Amino acid sequence: MELVTFKIPKELIEEVDNLVNKGLFSSRSEAIRYAIGMLITNIPEKRLEIKNGSACQA
């Protein structure tokens, strides 16, 4: 695996920590890898929503 360094808002990392503390993930890294994987998986759906004019704004 590659090492990637980035900054995210404190509130988001606290939410990630909550998921880890609840036992849903073994580490921050695992949780973030899962989230990125979900994003990549859902990109085709998001493109379709944008094309159809029904995309939600984050």
Q: What is the pLDDT of residues 29-53, one digit of tens each?
A: 999 999 999 988 888 766 666 667 6
Residue 36 lies in a domain: yes
Residue 57 lies in a domain: no
Judge whether residue 3 has pLDDT over 80. Answer: yes
Cα separations in angstroms, 26 against 43, 45, 58: 26, 29, 27
Domain count, the chain: 1
Q: How confident is the model at residue 2 (pLDDT cuts 50, 70, 90)?
A: very high
Residue 18 lies in a domain: yes
Residue 58 lies in a domain: no
DSSP 9-48: -HHHHHHHHHHHHTTSSSSHHHHHHHHHHHHHHHHHHHHH
Residue 31 lies in a domain: yes
Structure token digits, residue 44:
């085709």
* Boundaries of domain holding 37: 10-50
Cβ neighbourhood burial of 16 (10 Å; 0-12, 13-18, 19+): buried
